Amino acid sequence: MNADEISPKTNPRLKRIQKISAYFRTLFFVSALLFVVIGVVEIIELPILHISDLAHSNPSRFRDAIFMGVSIICWTAETWFAYKLFFFYARGDLFTPEIVRYLRRIGYVSILIGFWSAFKLYFLFGFLGDNPSAAGAIAAKFGVILVQLVFSIVPGFVTIFIAWVMDEGRKIQEEQELTV
């Protein structure tokens, strides 16, 4: 057998990867489209419905609409990058720079989502609105926000880290192949 030839065992493996990746690619493509549609509806709805809420001293509904809008933008970006990631997997590219790039982008967006969810929690607790008298209550609320922040941004950092290690591993293998 020639060194460049693909072994008979390898081909079914690659086909299996491509088949499952294609399912995920479709799922994320549909999800991204759905988020775009929901986002457009939200954008159209926002000035019509919620500006009047703001005018009628009901800022919480307006605030919720803004929160939802930003979250939808982040989820659209994330699902789109996941679609692109599985697009390359479905093409049979396993350890390429494109895979690393999209993994990294998913990581960046999930960090953004993590900060955004902690920010939302900050508002939901009414830090700006009320004036909690006990220092212990503030510390407890701050603790919950911190735990939520850590819990939400850690997956993003881990994704970026794994992408970086994959990239380095790929470069190491390339360099080893070139070493004679």
Partner 1 sequence: MNAKEISPKVNARLNRIKIVSRIARLLVIGFLLFTIWFLLRVWIFQGTPVLFDKFNAASAKAAHQYPLFLCAGILSLFTPLILCVWYWKLAQLFHYYERGLIFTVKTIRCIKFLGLLCVINWTLVSTRHLLLQETGPGLFQPSPSQPIYRMEFFSFDFGWGIDFGPLLAGAIIVVIAWIMDEGRKIQEEQELTV
* Residue 176 touches partner 1, criterion: CB under 8 A: yes
Q: Could you tell me the end-to-end alpha-carbon distance of the chain, in angstroms, rounded to an integer?
A: 23
As given in the structure block, the two tokens for residue 14 are 């690659």
Contacting residue, 21, 50, 65, 83, with partner 1 by CB under 8 A: 21
Closest separation between CB of residue 17 and partner 1, Å? 5
* Residue 45 touches partner 1, criterion: CB under 8 A: no
Q: How many residues bind partner 1 (CB under 8 A)?
A: 57
As given in the structure block, the two tokens for residue 73 are 């933008």
Which stretch in 38-46, 47-55, 56-64, 75-83 sits in contact with partner 1 by CB under 8 A? 75-83
Q: Give residues 120-139 in contact with partner 1 (rule: CB under 8 A).
A: 121, 125, 137
Q: Is 13 exposed, middle or buried (0-12, 13-18, 19+ CB in 10 A)?
A: exposed
How far apart CA 156 and CA 103 sit, in angstroms, is 10
Cβ proximity to partner 1, 56 vs 171, nearer residue: 171
Cβ proximity to partner 1, 37 vs 144, nearer residue: 144
* Residue 32 touches partner 1, criterion: CB under 8 A: no
How far CA 162 is from CA of 77, 81, 104, 166, in Å, comes to 20, 16, 9, 6
